[in-house]
Structure 1
Amino acid sequence: MSGIPPRNRMPSSTASTMDPMASSTESTFNTSPTVISGPSPKEPAFISSKWGIGWKTPAVMLASYVLAVGIAVGHLLFFQHIDGKEADGAHQIVSQSYVSTASNILANAFGYALRSALAIAFAQYLWRLFRVSALKVSTIEDLFLVRANPLLLLKGAVLRATPFLCSSVLLMWALQVAIGFPPGAITVVTRQKISYNITNIPSYNASFMGNGSGTDAETYALITLAPDTDTDAGFITGAFNEGKNGNLINRLARQVLISGEALPMTSPCGLNCSYMTVFEAPWFNCSNLSTTYAISSNLVPAASQIFISQWYSPSSSSMPLTHPGYNGTHTQALLNTSTLAIMSVNYTTDPILGPQLNSAVIRQDNLTCTPGRARYTINNTYENNVHSRKVVSAVPVDILTNLALRTHDNVVIVPGFNADHGTGYGTRPANWSAAALAYYRDNNMMAIFSSMASWLDGHFDAVLQGYGLPHVGNISTAPHWQDVVSTQYSGVSVSAGANGTIADSTRLNAIFGTFSASGVLTPQFSVSQEVLNDYMLNMTTSIMVAYGMWSTTANATISTPINVYSFSRPLMLLIPYFLSLALAVPFILMGALALVMNGVSAIDGGFMQTITTSTGSAVLDRAAAGGCLGGEESVPKELKDLKVRFGEFIGRQESGRIRRAGFGVETEVTALEKGALYGIARWI
């Protein structure tokens, strides 16, 4: 066995004399000679590096990037899935705290995965840079530390050395900020959940009479139905204008006329809901005739009846047996109105009295209305329990039937209406004919007509401003009626506004509440079929509320406020994620290219890579010895300013053509030769 040359052998006695402080105990361990054996035949002659990029580094880099893409897509799909779903309550899809936590985890996982891919690419490109250019040791140190300390990017040497890698580091640090935005892309908002429910709703049914007995028919009638005690053949209806100041329906009519609105209706289906209802209600069928005429100053000044209303109910004593439009079948009830409107006015100037009325053109509108029925379709909506309605359609059905009977004592013949024994109402279903049913229905309709129209019956007197009267000062440019006299009701003159017609306090008085320059009230009446029928509808819906005797069912659409997830800010997720992924592509591609060009993979921050690449240069070894303690403060300036690069040492070919690679100064190294054998000979 070949041994070490004799000069390498050291006898134990010699070793002992070299250390006089050694104890006798220590010398016993050196009694036998130190023998270094030669290489074993099984050991290879060389310790050499292998060329090849392997699969781990590119696989991890690609897998990290693909993972980041998957996380971004998954986060997007997750938000899209819960978008519009309930955020709390019994039907919540997932707790808000879980959504927040999951979003933060996904965002941080995305950042970690993408930074990992960029870090691997960074290492490959950095080592490519070491091979092609000589850099100061201090600059190399900064490039290794720049990902942990972004302030190093402010150094000019670092930026000049590699702007590309500095951009990569900026992207890595920008990711820390970018991943804070995606969790904010989802918010919790309040929306209305729509559900449907069959609900009992108030209604009006003039034909409804319970079980059809006399007792139920009287209960659901709006005016008294008195049993005929003479013949026991039916009932006698009460007068339509009786009990005007004490009857509920008449008091309702006055309230609706003055307020211009129906009684408030409480929601039958919750705070926010809507439903459609269909019912028949009173309806005026009107015709209008307008005439225009002039008045001049030579006429004797007199008050004009600028509003006249005459209501003829079926029981009115002044009602003629027939009137124009009556055909013997329909009702004779009638509402006639007449209003005066100023079309134009001319003044002359008196040298003493000033402006004086010369002439005026007046239009007279005559409206004739017959009571009838119409089928209303109404959409009722409640928002925070505030009711609003929209008339979808109002289709006239027919004029009311003739209620002025020609039977004995005006008896409506209904066998079984009276009690079987004694007096009073029957309790079993009576024998109602079609005519009697129509009478009962229209009798209830007429009660509503009469209650409304009777409050408008009468007239309102006024004079034209300035007509026939001395007037000093400026005259209003808008001519108007001046309320200076009285109203009349039933032929009895009373003071204005004290009693009688209340038309001046309703919407029929178009500018009620405005005043002339002289401070007096200036009424201006305007009556139309639309306004009258709107009053009738308000009255009918008020009866629904006040009486509460009729109901029906409707499919109510109920809106319930719920908290739901809203993917309302998708850009907060899309821009940070996919912009980051797009910006990372060139850095990863350059890292992959550097990996291929290097021929070997670079370890990111490994100790083995440091020691295997930094031994071999005598210049570097001497300069580094001054800072062997490792601290920043102990590193000598000579080492910091030393320019080195990674390459093949010149003239360091070992036996067997094996070469040595590592960091060295430019006079020590040259470019690596891809595929060459690099390492060290063991024993050749």
Structure 2
Amino acid sequence: MSNLPAHCDPLRSHTSRDASEQSLKSKVKASSGPSQNEPAIICSTWTIGWQTPTLMIACYVLAIVLALVHLILFQFINGRAADGPTPIAPQTYISTASNILANAFGVALRASLGVAFCQYLWHLFRVQTMKVSTIELLFAIRSNPFQIFRMATLRATPTLCALALLMFLSQIATGFPPGAITIEKAPRTSYEMAIVPSFDASFMGNGSGSDANAFSLIKLKLDPTGTGGFESGDFIGGKDTNLINRLARQVLVAGEALTMPSPCGANCSYVVEFEGPYVECTNSSQTAVVVNSDGLQIYTGDWISPASAQLAQSLYNGTYTLAHLNTTTLTPISVNVLKSLPNSTTPTTYVTVQQDNTICSPGRAKYTLNHTYVNNVHSRNVTMEPVDRLIDLALQTHGGIVVVPGFTLNKTFAYGTQPANWSTNALNFYRDNNHMAILDAMMSWLAGSFNASLQYADADSPSTALSNSSYDLAWEESFISFTNGVSMSNGPQGNTVIDSTRFNQVFNQYTNAANPSFNISSDILNDYLLNMTMSIATAYGRWNTSANATVTTLINVYSFSQPLNLLIPYFLTLLLSLPFIILGSIALLNNGVSAMDGSFMQIITTSIGSSVLDKAAAGGCLGGNESMPEELKDLKIRFGEFLGRDDPGGIKRSGFGVEGEVRALQKGAKYGIARWL
């Protein structure tokens, strides 16, 4: 049975054949022509099939899907770790996958455009006559971009030239999407327990006399009677031999705590709470008149230590300590110059001053410190909640002994090594004794006085300045010299460092400190005490504690930082390609049959039949471009139906021919050949 379509197989359509076909059939039967198994008619089928349109549309849809996958991939890995312990994927894998997706997108899109190109090209062959050389250029423009800009191709079909140019440019466009993802440093937050410096005035190790003395900021002197206990200490140790006193001077002059290395990395934060010393101050002001002199004490600081308070109040047995800091500062307001006395030629100068008095009592407060490190630069946020004043450390017991059974070793003059029997009062004493040690160390450097006089406006002649009553109302410090710690001229007395601290407002402005201006406030005092406490915690390292640290680590992450590098190339190529896909689909429908790209059979089946073309092509039968005759190149042909070539049975011939040989194809007509002997 024949496998030809019904309109080409005479055995299937014998009832509809005309008389000439019946005659042909009778001749075939009567002759020794084709066998019964060989069809007498070979003709083409008018069908576009499913492969060509499916390939064109499917490749375009595949390109869209690949672009979306590429976008989703970059969105998915955006902000995720590129290396480290838990990377989302190695950088080499992401780079390879990105290049594969971009190249696959280009291949799919160019495959779709290639099919559309072929359909539209063969549509042009049907509707217009072109030179053979022009047709040759149209077949070559997809592989040679220089042929696109030939005038012959541009005149023949600018649309195909634009399509070919788009196919070349799409290869460049697909190089941009992989660059849309970059590697950047990004913070990652984690939480871990860190050992951080702190302060605990109550900590005494295992509670033995030996540990209690080791963790005390001031030496606990053993009870010389051996009854079991210790003396509170005198708080008058040498300033240059005790670490805590040296720290106090350093903190006062520097205005800040010792540098605290980060215990949790370059970027982290943690919160620590502890009880530390603080002072509660009362202030009073009044106006006074003083005589201007080189020895005028414009600052006076008195630190009444626990031992001094006991001497002053020998019968005091109250709850809280009498230790306190008492300061007085003088600020000039105006000056009056009176005539000299009868036996004197020097006028007397009186200065009206504002006298500020501050009295500060020691106490303890709960500090909450939020430490933050950014690139190892430390900052802190402090909140303070007062707890209570310090207890009376000047005990009225025999010899001022704090009784703690077991504090000494078997009632000998040695520290015990086993936990002692601490009472609540003894524990409170030990705690506040350490707080007082910090207070005493700092306040002792504020004790003393600072001498100055009202500076003259005219430095050439004081007498002239006095007679003119012209003054700059600021104190002037003179040069000083010390002999055995006693000032022999103007300036600081008693080794006070008050003029080199933040209490001296002029010094704090980093200007000439010759004109001091003192301001004593509880805020500055408590800030200094906190700095002092944290410096002790850092320097001694005795009271480390655990804190939940928030650690920020900089890691390499993928960053979809250049989304336009992906969106614009993909969007533009898909958008510009769509009209050509539609144009190729329309051409496919108009042609009625699908054109095959690069098909040898398509070339040979469409290029035979024209005697003019056959003779012209014979001159270049070797096939080389250089051997092609000019007659063939200049020959104008088109694809159509040959005139006067109807075979028996209404079979028509189609192919390339010159004008006058072919006409437009008739869609649905039978094209092929009838065979007989």
TM-score range, shorter chain: 0.7 to 0.9
Q: Distance between the aligned counterparts of 2:163 and 2:406, measured in 1? A: 101
Determine the structure 1 residue equivalent to 2:436.
446
Instruction: Pick the aligned partner of 1:213 from 186, 208, 211.
Output: 208
Residue 172 of structure 2 aligns with an amino acid whose one-letter code is V
Residues 1:644 and 1:212: Cα distance change in structure 2 (over 3 Å): same
Determine the structure 2 residue equivalent to 1:368.
359
Within 5 Å, which residues of 2 pair with 1:486-501?
486=480, 492-495=486-489, 496=491, 500-501=495-496
Percent of aligned pairs with the same residue? 55
Offset at residue 64 of structure 1 (A): 1.4
Residues 1:532 and 1:658: Cα distance change in structure 2 (over 3 Å): same
Are residues 1:307 and 2:302 paired? no
Are residues 1:576 and 2:569 paired? yes
Deviations 1:14-65 (A, max 9, x none): xxxxxxxxxxxxxxxxxxxxxx963223322222111111011111112212
Residue 298 of structure 2 aligns with an amino acid whose one-letter code is I
Q: Distance between the aligned counterparts of 2:240 and 2:539, measured in 1? A: 17
Aligned length: 632
Instruction: Pick the aligned partner of 1:252 from 247, 262, 265.
Output: 247
Offset at residue 238 of structure 1 (A): 0.8
SS of structure 2 residue aligned to 1:511? helix
198-207 vs 563-572, which moves further = 563-572
Q: Which runs of 5+ in 1 are unaligned?
A: 1-35, 348-357
Determine the structure 2 residue equivalent to 1:354.
none
Offset at residue 587 of structure 1 (A): 1.4
Determine the structure 2 residue equivalent to 1:28.
none
Residue 477 of structure 2 aligns with an amino acid whose one-letter code is D
Are residues 1:615 and 2:589 paired? no
Residues 1:527 and 1:682: Cα distance change in structure 2 (over 3 Å): farther
Residues 1:612 and 1:467: Cα distance change in structure 2 (over 3 Å): same
Residue 75 of structure 2 aligns with an amino acid whose one-letter code is Q
Instruction: Pick the aligned partner of 1:593 from 582, 586, 593.
Output: 586
Q: Tell me if the contact between 1:53 and 1:601 (Cα under 8 Å) persists in the aligned partners.
A: yes
88-97 vs 436-445, which moves further = 88-97
Residues 1:291 and 1:601: Cα distance change in structure 2 (over 3 Å): farther
Are residues 1:540 and 2:530 paired? no
Residues 1:641 and 1:523: Cα distance change in structure 2 (over 3 Å): farther
SS of structure 2 residue aligned to 1:559? strand
SS of structure 1 residue aligned to 2:308? coil
SS of structure 2 residue aligned to 1:279? strand
Within 5 Å, which residues of 2 pair with 1:212-361?
212-230=207-225, 232-291=227-286, 304-316=296-308, 320-321=312-313, 328-341=318-331
Q: TM-score, normalised by structure 1?
A: 0.84
Q: Tell me if the contact between 1:142 and 1:152 (Cα under 8 Å) persists in the aligned partners.
A: yes
Residue 603 of structure 1 aligns with an amino acid whose one-letter code is M
Residue 163 of structure 1 aligns with an amino acid whose one-letter code is P
Residue 100 of structure 2 aligns with an amino acid whose one-letter code is I
Q: Tell me if the contact between 2:507 and 2:513 (Cα under 8 Å) persists in the aligned partners.
A: no
Q: Tell me if the contact between 2:449 and 2:493 (Cα under 8 Å) persists in the aligned partners.
A: no
Are residues 1:603 and 2:592 paired? no
Instruction: Pick the aligned partner of 2:370 from 365, 379, 389.
Output: 379
Q: Which runs of 5+ in 2 are unaligned?
A: 1-30, 338-348
Q: TM-score, normalised by structure 2?
A: 0.85
Q: Tell me if the contact between 2:501 and 2:508 (Cα under 8 Å) persists in the aligned partners.
A: no
Q: Tell me if the contact between 2:309 and 2:323 (Cα under 8 Å) persists in the aligned partners.
A: no
Determine the structure 2 residue equivalent to 1:425.
415
Instruction: Pick the aligned partner of 2:619 from 620, 623, 626.
Output: 626
Q: Distance between the aligned counterparts of 1:375 and 1:155, measured in 2? A: 88
Residues 1:635 and 1:491: Cα distance change in structure 2 (over 3 Å): closer
SS of structure 2 residue aligned to 1:585? helix
Q: Distance between the aligned counterparts of 2:513 and 2:89, measured in 1? A: 69
SS of structure 2 residue aligned to 1:500? coil
Q: Tell me if the contact between 2:639 and 2:657 (Cα under 8 Å) persists in the aligned partners.
A: yes
Deviations 1:80-126 (A, max 9, x none): 33333433344334332232222222221111111101101111111
Within 5 Å, which residues of 2 pair with 1:431-510?
431-466=421-456, 470=461, 480-484=474-478, 486=480, 492-495=486-489, 496=491, 500-510=495-505
SS of structure 2 residue aligned to 1:583? helix
Determine the structure 2 residue equivalent to 1:674.
667
Residue 198 of structure 1 aligns with an amino acid whose one-letter code is M
Q: Distance between the aligned counterparts of 2:224 and 2:403, measured in 1? A: 12
Q: Distance between the aligned counterparts of 1:523 and 1:303, measured in 2? A: 15
Q: Distance between the aligned counterparts of 1:205 and 1:515, measured in 2? A: 36
648-657 vs 631-640, which moves further = 631-640
Offset at residue 539 of structure 1 (A): 0.9
Offset at residue 291 of structure 1 (A): 4.5
Q: Tell me if the contact between 1:514 and 1:521 (Cα under 8 Å) persists in the aligned partners.
A: no
Determine the structure 2 residue equivalent to 1:120.
115
Offset at residue 224 of structure 1 (A): 1.7
Determine the structure 1 residue equivalent to 2:77.
82
Residue 121 of structure 1 aligns with an amino acid whose one-letter code is A
Q: Distance between the aligned counterparts of 2:471 and 2:531, measured in 1? A: 37
Q: Tell me if the contact between 1:264 and 1:387 (Cα under 8 Å) persists in the aligned partners.
A: no
SS of structure 1 residue aligned to 2:515? coil
Q: Tell me if the contact between 1:461 and 1:485 (Cα under 8 Å) persists in the aligned partners.
A: no
SS of structure 2 residue aligned to 1:555? strand
Within 5 Å, which residues of 2 pair with 1:47-196?
47-196=42-191
Determine the structure 2 residue equivalent to 1:406.
396
Determine the structure 2 residue equivalent to 1:19.
none
Determine the structure 1 residue equivalent to 2:634.
641
Q: Distance between the aligned counterparts of 2:90 and 2:274, measured in 1? A: 47
Residue 563 of structure 2 aligns with an amino acid whose one-letter code is P
Are residues 1:664 and 2:657 paired? yes
Offset at residue 221 of structure 1 (A): 1.0
Q: Distance between the aligned counterparts of 1:627 and 1:38, measured in 2? A: 36
Q: Tell me if the contact between 2:637 and 2:656 (Cα under 8 Å) persists in the aligned partners.
A: yes
Q: Distance between the aligned counterparts of 1:313 and 1:183, measured in 2? A: 74
Are residues 1:203 and 2:194 paired? no
Offset at residue 601 of structure 1 (A): 0.5
SS of structure 1 residue aligned to 2:518? coil
Q: Tell me if the contact between 2:273 and 2:366 (Cα under 8 Å) persists in the aligned partners.
A: yes
Q: Distance between the aligned counterparts of 1:55 and 1:270, measured in 2? A: 66
SS of structure 1 residue aligned to 2:356? strand
Residues 1:140 and 1:287: Cα distance change in structure 2 (over 3 Å): farther
Offset at residue 430 of structure 1 (A): 2.5
Q: Tell me if the contact between 1:514 and 1:522 (Cα under 8 Å) persists in the aligned partners.
A: no
Q: Tell me if the contact between 1:342 and 1:361 (Cα under 8 Å) persists in the aligned partners.
A: yes
Q: Tell me if the contact between 2:447 and 2:496 (Cα under 8 Å) persists in the aligned partners.
A: yes
Determine the structure 2 residue equivalent to 1:683.
676
Q: Tell me if the contact between 2:191 and 2:550 (Cα under 8 Å) persists in the aligned partners.
A: yes
Offset at residue 127 of structure 1 (A): 1.4
211-220 vs 336-345, which moves further = 336-345
Q: Distance between the aligned counterparts of 1:152 and 1:359, measured in 2? A: 106
Q: Tell me if the contact between 2:213 and 2:219 (Cα under 8 Å) persists in the aligned partners.
A: yes
Q: Distance between the aligned counterparts of 2:537 and 2:482, measured in 1? A: 33
Residue 611 of structure 2 aligns with an amino acid whose one-letter code is A
Residue 548 of structure 1 aligns with an amino acid whose one-letter code is G
Q: Distance between the aligned counterparts of 1:412 and 1:485, measured in 2? A: 47
Are residues 1:655 and 2:648 paired? yes
Residues 1:302 and 1:467: Cα distance change in structure 2 (over 3 Å): farther
